[in-house]
A and B are shown apart, each in its own frame.
Chain A
Amino acid sequence: MSDPRELYQQVILEHNKKPRNFGKLEACTHHAEGHNPLCGDELDLTLIIENGLVQDIKFQGSGCAIDVASASLMTGAVKGKPVAEAEAMAEQFRGMVRGELEPGTQTPLLGKLTLFSGVKDLPSRVKCAVLPWATLHAALKGEAEASTE
C-alpha cells in the first residue's frame, strides 16, 4: 500500500488549483453530467465535435482534487483528437486506475496521465479519477448522464 501523498503530486495539485478548460461551451454538440453519489462530485461536460474530431471541450463543477485534476488533464489530452482515440483513451484510463492495465506499456495513449496510476492503491478514490472519463464516454454516446455507481 503506498502513501496517498504520492498521488498528490504537484501536477495534480496544480491542475486542481488552476483547472484548464474550465467553463461551459454554449454552442456544444455533445453534453453530459457526471455524478459521484458517494462524494457528491458533480461534473458538467460540454464538447464540440466536428468531422469526427473533439474540436473543443470544457468542464465545470465541483469535486475533490483527484476529480478536478483528472477532468482538467483529460480535457487537455482529448482536445483535437479523433473521437475514436478519445474513447480508447477512456478505456485505457479506466483499466489503469483499476489496476488492470500496466501504466505506460499497456496505456500508450495516456502519456503523462499515467500519473493517476497511483489511484489504484486508493480504491475509494478510483471513482473520483474515473468520473470525468465516464462523463466523456456518456457524452460521446449521446447519454445525458453518467454515474460512477
Chain B
Amino acid sequence: MTEGDRLLATTRDVPPGTPRTMPGQSPAIAPVMTTTLPPLDIAAIRKDFALLSRVLRGKPVIYLDSAVSGQMPLQVIERMVKYERDEHTNVHRGVSTLSQEATDFYEAAREKVRRFIGAGSIREIVWTRGTTESINLVAQTFGRMVVKEGDEILLSAMEHHANIVPWQMLAQEKGATIKVIPMTDTGELILASLDELITDRTKIVGVVHISNVLGTVNPVKEIIAMAHAKGVPVLVDGAQAVPHLQVDVKDLDADFYAFSGHKLSGPTGIGVLYGKLAHLEAMPPWHGGGSMIRSVTWEKTTYLPAPGKFEAGTPPIAAAIGLGAAIDYVSALGIDRIAAHEHDLLLYATERLSRIPGLRILGSAKEKASVISFVVEGIHPHDMGSLLDGEGIVVRAGHHCAQPIMTRLKVPATTRASFAYFNTREEVDFLVSAVEKAIELFK
C-alpha cells in the first residue's frame, strides 16, 4: 500500500461531517478549555506528523521552523484528500447535490474561522491566498479610498515585508508618506511615541501582532484604542499570532485582521482577511470576474455584498476546507494548552541558548512568543543554518522578510528557531548541542 493509498483508506466510508477524534485527546474528553486541563500528550500528537519521523543524512528531522510554515497533521491532509477524491466540484455553482455539498463544507470552514477569531458575522471573513494578499487587498481598496496626497500611513518598526511593501506602493501612487513606530533594542514598540506619530493626516495604522523575528507580542489592543481615539483604523498582521494565542478580533476592536492558513497547521494558498462589516461594505471590489457579481450586462455590473465581492474566480476549495480542519485540530488541542507548552519551550531554549558564550538572542520582550532569533560571534547565520541542517535541524537563516529589523539591530541576518506544539525539550537539547558543535568547528 502506498502512502497515498493509506491516506485514502483511512478516510474511506466516512460520511461528510463525521466528527473526527482529535489527537492527544481521548474521545471521552470534551474539548473544553479550562486551566485544569492536563498538558498536551506530545508523543501522541507527533504521530499525526509524518515529517517528524523522516530521517535526513541519517539524522531524524527536528523541525524548528514553524514560523516559516507550520506542519499539517494527517487529519488535515486526509480531509483535503477526501474533498479531492469524493467531493470535488466547484462552489456556489448551480443546483447539483455535489455543488451544494461542496459549498456547505466550504462555507462551514468560513464559519469555523469566524468562531476561531471571534468575529461577529461570517460576512466579515474574506478568503484570500494568505496574509500578503489580505494586506494587499486592504491597501488596494480601503487604502486607495482613504489615503490622499500628503496623508500618512503609520507602520511599526518590526513589520514583515508583507505589511510594508503594499503600503509603500500605495504611498507612491498617492504621494503619501510612511511613518514608523520605533522600537527599543529589546524589541518592544515605543508606545509613548504614538500620540505624536498619529496626526490628523494619519489614515491607517498597520501593526504586526507577533513579530516573526523577535517573537514580541505587541499590545495591539492598546495600540488600536490609541488609534481609535484619534479616529484612525488599524490593520493587524496576525500571521504569527493565530497559531499561538487566542485571538478575539472584537475584543481587540481591530478594523482588519490578516492571517495565513499554512502557519496555523493548514495548507498553503489559503488565508483570511477579517474586516469590520462597515468597512467591507464601503470598500470597492478588488479583482473582477466570476463569483463576485450579482448581475452583469454590457452596460453595468453589480457586485455581491461582502465577502463575495472580494472573492473573484474559483477559490482554493480544498485549502479552505483544510484550514477548517486545521482549526478543528488546534481547537481540540486548545490554544491555551498550545501556548503553555510553547512558552515552556521558549523559556527552556532561552535559558539554554543564552548560556552559550558568544551567542546573542535578539528580542527579549516581556511578552514573547516561541520564536528565538540569534547570532553567534564569528559565525554568519547562513553558515550556522547549513551546519544545523547537517544535523537534521530545520531552522531559518536569513533576514526573515523583515530587512528593516536587521538594519535596526545592525545584523545582516539571524538564525531563527521557532517552536510549535509538537516540539519537545529534547529537541531543544539537540539544537543547543548542534550550535555548540558549530561554534567548536569555527574556533
Q: B85 near A: Cβ within 8 Å?
A: no
Chain A neighbourhood of B378, CB < 8 A: 17
Q: A128 near B: Cβ within 8 Å?
A: yes
Contact check, B413 vs A65: say whether CB atoms are below 8 A apart.
no
Contact check, B390 vs A5: say whether CB atoms are below 8 A apart.
yes
Cα distance A121–B133 in the bound complex, in angstroms = 34
Contact check, A64 vs B382: say whether CB atoms are below 8 A apart.
yes
Contact check, B383 vs A66: say whether CB atoms are below 8 A apart.
yes
Min CB–CB distance B16 → chain A (angstroms): 42
Contact check, B413 vs A5: say whether CB atoms are below 8 A apart.
no
Contact check, B399 vs A40: say whether CB atoms are below 8 A apart.
yes
Min CB–CB distance A57 → chain B (angstroms): 23
Chain A neighbourhood of B382, CB < 8 A: 39, 64, 66, 125, 128
How would residues 393 to 421 of chain B score, 1 for a CB under 8 Å from any chain A CB and 0 otherwise? 00000110000001000001100000000
Chain A neighbourhood of B383, CB < 8 A: 8, 64-66
Min CB–CB distance A38 → chain B (angstroms): 7
Total count of chain A residues near the partner, CB < 8 A: 23
Contact check, B380 vs A125: say whether CB atoms are below 8 A apart.
no
Chain B neighbourhood of A64, CB < 8 A: 380-383
How would residues 119 to 132 of chain A score, 1 for a CB under 8 Å from any chain B CB and 0 otherwise? 00010110010000
Closest partner residue, chain B, to A125 (CB atom): B386
Q: A62 near B: Cβ within 8 Å?
A: yes
Contact check, A40 vs B413: say whether CB atoms are below 8 A apart.
yes
A-B residue pair count with CB separations less than 8 angstroms: 50
Chain B neighbourhood of A17, CB < 8 A: 378
Contact check, A65 vs B390: say whether CB atoms are below 8 A apart.
no
Min CB–CB distance B54 → chain A (angstroms): 13
Closest partner residue, chain A, to B388 (CB atom): A4
Contact check, A13 vs B398: say whether CB atoms are below 8 A apart.
no
- The 8 Å CB contact of A5, one of B56, B381, B387, is B387
Q: A63 near B: Cβ within 8 Å?
A: yes
How would residues 137 to 150 of chain B score, 1 for a CB under 8 Å from any chain A CB and 0 otherwise? 00000000000000
Contact check, B398 vs A39: say whether CB atoms are below 8 A apart.
yes
Q: A1 near B: Cβ within 8 Å?
A: yes
Chain B neighbourhood of A39, CB < 8 A: 380, 382, 398, 412-413
Given the contacts A3-B57, A39-B413, A40-B406, A8 and B380 also touching, CB distance less than 8 Å: no
Cα distance A41–B380 in the bound complex, in angstroms = 10
Q: B30 near A: Cβ within 8 Å?
A: no
- The 8 Å CB contact of B380, one of A1, A4, A63, A124, is A63
Closest partner residue, chain B, to A13 (CB atom): B442
Chain B neighbourhood of A40, CB < 8 A: 398-399, 406, 412-413
Q: B1 near A: Cβ within 8 Å?
A: no
Contact check, A13 vs B386: say whether CB atoms are below 8 A apart.
no
Contact check, B389 vs A62: say whether CB atoms are below 8 A apart.
no
Q: B29 near A: Cβ within 8 Å?
A: no
Q: B441 near A: Cβ within 8 Å?
A: yes
Cα distance A117–B77 in the bound complex, in angstroms = 39
Contact check, A62 vs B57: say whether CB atoms are below 8 A apart.
no
Min CB–CB distance A80 → chain B (angstroms): 30
Closest partner residue, chain A, to B437 (CB atom): A5
Cα distance A124–B381 in the bound complex, in angstroms = 13
Cα distance A118–B383 in the bound complex, in angstroms = 14
How would residues 1 to 35 of chain A score, 1 for a CB under 8 Å from any chain B CB and 0 otherwise? 11111011000010001000000000000000000
Contact check, B441 vs A5: say whether CB atoms are below 8 A apart.
yes
Give residues in A with beta carbon < 8 Å to B.
Answer: 1-5, 7-8, 13, 17, 38-41, 62-67, 122, 124-125, 128
Q: A4-B386, A40-B406 are in contact. List 7 more A-B contacts (CB 8 A).
A: A4-B390, A8-B383, A8-B441, A39-B413, A65-B379, A124-B386, A128-B382
> Would you give 9 A-B contacts (Cβ < 8 Å), ordered by A?
A1-B56, A2-B57, A4-B386, A4-B387, A8-B387, A38-B398, A40-B406, A65-B380, A66-B382
Give residues in B with beta carbon < 8 Å to A.
Answer: 56-57, 378-383, 386-387, 389-390, 398-399, 406, 412-413, 441-442
